[in-house]
Amino acid sequence: MNIMYTSTRDKNKKVTASQAILQGLSDEGGLFIPETLPELTLDFKELATMTYQEVAYTILKEFLTDFSEEELRHCIYSAYDDKFATKKIAPLAKQGDRYFLELFHGQTLAFKDMALSILPYLLTTAAAKNQMDKEIVILTATSGDTGKAAMAGFADVPGTKIIVFYPKNGVSSFQEKQMLTQKGDNTYVVSIDGNFDDAQRTVKEMFNHLSLKNRLASQGMVFSSANSINVGRLVPQIVYYVYAYAQLVAAKEIAIGEEINFSVPTGNFGNILAAYYAKEIGVPISRLICASNKNNVLTDFFKKGFYDKNRPFFVTNSPSMDILISSNLERLVYYLTGDSSQDTVKLMTDLEEKGTYELSADMKQKLADFYSDYAEEEEVSAAIKQVYEASGYVIDPHTAVAVKAADTYHEATADTLKTVIVSTASPFKFPEAVVHAIAPDKLTNVEDDLVDNLAELAHSDIPEPVLDIRQAPVRHQTSIKTKEMQQTVENILNIR
């Protein structure tokens, strides 16, 4: 079956998968979604014997139907190789009576690696397929995780350059060091004196700057985005939900067909949306637990059917989920409207103009696939501690948010199905919050010592990427004012 992609804001739009990946966002501002979902029979007896790469091929070929088998296998095997610390790529860990789907074994120790390690290959393959011979310039604004994971993915990928902007005072020292030591002759990192919103807004302005784009094109280049709304990030995330279920079957933890739940630490709604697609294509999933931190705009949305971003913004100990506008939610909203791009536009216009929108009674009914809850910072610490004391297993603050939400869910509903916690970051990425939770007497201001203490508490080795950073030389040191961003891009790219 050939799958075309349409836009949440214009149903008449029809592009191939490779075009959707190249374009990122549809021209009128909508998000690309598969026009129909692939009809496939998931044979979990067979899937349970497959490697991650084989499962990836089984799923990607159904969604990215204009890619050839050779192209897809090239993308998959280039992405999911020994850059990952484990052959399983996304192992499922049983700790005590809990299941954790570990998505943090890639180069930057967070789940962004799952999609951003394959996106560069999908993107360059898509360019070649569409006879687009221009060099692809990725512009990204980051609040920490995405920029590093995108650079790690695109570093030294032929035909690409990547420029990352981050707020000088808005990322953790570890995240900053991760970025400033990034290798690759095609990577550029620049800090600005503004905040993340300034960076994001100016990047968007450059994307829409006609004369800049023309000058870029005349020198054989084109802008593209590694943002989480790209179909090339969304589809690869479906894979690990299928793989997780297959792993549970392989380990005889569940019988084939037995329903399970997933609890997903959520920010931009990309990860959990992939879980929703997994359910739609036939993975036996009962509930999707949408776990938020103190920035609990989604918890309210799922409970009341009312989205309201007009609220204070909190900086928390799970910073990758500190977000008030979840862009991928637009895709779910489109499905809730019964595939109406007109109704979706109406709601998204409300969001832009008033910062709020309300679902109809009909749409609210359809939220039953989801359960939502959030965790305050103390609850995050308590969850890290509880898991550690129960099993000796150390989780990061984002994962802890999902643990708390899963526990609330089981208490509130008396549901006895098994729930898999989606584990989105290594605890070594957030050593301070983690040590604070499990052994506050082991806190120290010296980052390397803190990491050593954590390794001891966790009875585990320090992950390679953390050790690498201790030695790695700083390779980037450009600091500018926000208003110099465009000029900086022109200088880097040498465009006149």
Contact between 143 and ligand PLP by CB under 6 A: the answer reads no
Q: How many CA atoms lie within 13 A of 57 on its CB side?
A: 15
Q: What is the Cα–Cα distance from 263 to 406, expressed in whole angstroms?
A: 6
354 assigned to active site: no
Sign of the dihedral through C-alpha 195, 200, 203, 209: negative
Q: Contact with ligand PLP (CB under 6 A): which of 62, 102, 145, 373?
A: 145
Site string for ligand PLP, 220-239 (x = CB under 6 A): --------x-----------
Q: What is the Cα–Cα distance from 182 to 151, expressed in whole angstroms?
A: 7
Q: Among all chains, which residue has been given the structure tokens 């036939």?
A: 282
Q: Contact with ligand PLP (CB under 6 A): which of 42, 76, 321, 451?
A: 321
Q: How many CB atoms lie within 10 A of CB 6?
A: 22
Q: What is the Cα–Cα distance from 254 to 47, expressed in whole angstroms?
A: 14
Contact between 465 and ligand PLP by CB under 6 A: the answer reads no
Q: What is the Cα–Cα distance from 53 to 55, expressed in whole angstroms?
A: 5
Contact between 265 and ligand PLP by CB under 6 A: the answer reads yes
Contact between 270 and ligand PLP by CB under 6 A: the answer reads yes
Q: What is the Cα–Cα distance from 423 to 102, expressed in whole angstroms?
A: 5
- Burial bucket for residue 88 (CB in 10 Å: 0-12, 13-18, 19+): middle
Rounded least distance, CB 269 to ligand PLP, Å: 5
Contact between 271 and ligand PLP by CB under 6 A: the answer reads yes
To the nearest 10 degrees (0 to 180), the angle between helices 196-207 and 485-493 is 60
Identified catalytic residue from 112, 148, 404, 429: 112
Q: What are the residues whose beta carbons fall under 8 Å from the beta carbon of 313, sequence distance 6 or more?
A: 295, 322, 324
Residue 141 DSSP SS3: strand
Q: What is the spatial order of strands in the sheet that 135-141 belongs to?
A: 221-224, 135-141, 160-167, 187-192, 478-480
Contact between 372 and ligand PLP by CB under 6 A: the answer reads no
Rounded least distance, CB 225 to ligand PLP, Å: 15
Q: Among all chains, which residue has been given the structure tokens 């009909």?
A: 362
Q: What is the Cα–Cα distance from 115 to 59, expressed in whole angstroms?
A: 14
Rounded least distance, CB 492 to ligand PLP, Å: 26
Q: Among all chains, which residue has been given the structure tokens 């000088």?
A: 168
What secondary structure does DSSP assign to 62-116, as a single string? Answer: HH-TTS-HHHHHHHHHHHSSTTSSSTTSS-EEEETTEEEEE---STTSBTHHHHH
Which residue number, 249 or 421, has a Cβ lying nearer to ligand PLP? 421
Size of the site for ligand PLP (CB under 6 A): 17
Q: Contact with ligand PLP (CB under 6 A): which of 425, 434, 438, 493?
A: 425
Which residue number, 16 or 317, has a Cβ lying nearer to ligand PLP? 317
Q: Contact with ligand PLP (CB under 6 A): which of 8, 181, 187, 320?
A: 320
Which residue number, 153 or 267, has a Cβ lying nearer to ligand PLP? 267
Stretch that binds ligand PLP, among 125-133, 165-173, 250-258, 262-270 (CB under 6 A): 262-270
Which residue number, 48 or 109, has a Cβ lying nearer to ligand PLP? 109
Contact between 266 and ligand PLP by CB under 6 A: the answer reads yes
Which residue number, 101 or 425, has a Cβ lying nearer to ligand PLP? 425
Stretch that binds ligand PLP, among 265-273, 386-394, 443-451, 478-486 (CB under 6 A): 265-273
Q: How many CA atoms lie within 13 A of 98 on its CB side?
A: 28
Contact between 13 and ligand PLP by CB under 6 A: the answer reads no
Q: Contact with ligand PLP (CB under 6 A): which of 269, 301, 334, 357?
A: 269
Residue 111 and residue 265 in contact, taking contact as beta carbons nearer than 8 Å: no
Length of the chain, in residues: 496
Contact between 112 and ligand PLP by CB under 6 A: the answer reads yes
Q: What is the Cα–Cα distance from 68 to 177, expressed in whole angstroms?
A: 39
Site string for ligand PLP, 384-403 (x = CB under 6 A): --------------x-----
Please choose, from the candidates 307, 296, 286, 262, the residue with its C-alpha nearest in 3D space to the C-alpha of residue 368. 286
Stretch that binds ligand PLP, among 17-25, 162-170, 266-274, 374-382 (CB under 6 A): 266-274
Q: What is the Cα–Cα distance from 12 to 16, expressed in whole angstroms?
A: 13
Cα-trace Rg, the chain: 22
Which residue number, 129 or 398, has a Cβ lying nearer to ligand PLP? 398
Rounded least distance, CB 266 to ligand PLP, Å: 4
What type of residue sits at position 18? S
Which residue number, 137 or 394, has a Cβ lying nearer to ligand PLP? 394
Q: Which of residues 51-110 bind ligand PLP (CB under 6 A)?
A: 110
Contact between 319 and ligand PLP by CB under 6 A: the answer reads no
Which residue number, 149 or 451, has a Cβ lying nearer to ligand PLP? 149
Contact between 267 and ligand PLP by CB under 6 A: the answer reads yes
Which residue number, 109 or 359, has a Cβ lying nearer to ligand PLP? 109
Where do contacts with ligand PLP occur on this chain (CB under 6 A)? 110-112, 145, 228, 265-271, 320-321, 398, 424-425
Catalytic site positions: 112
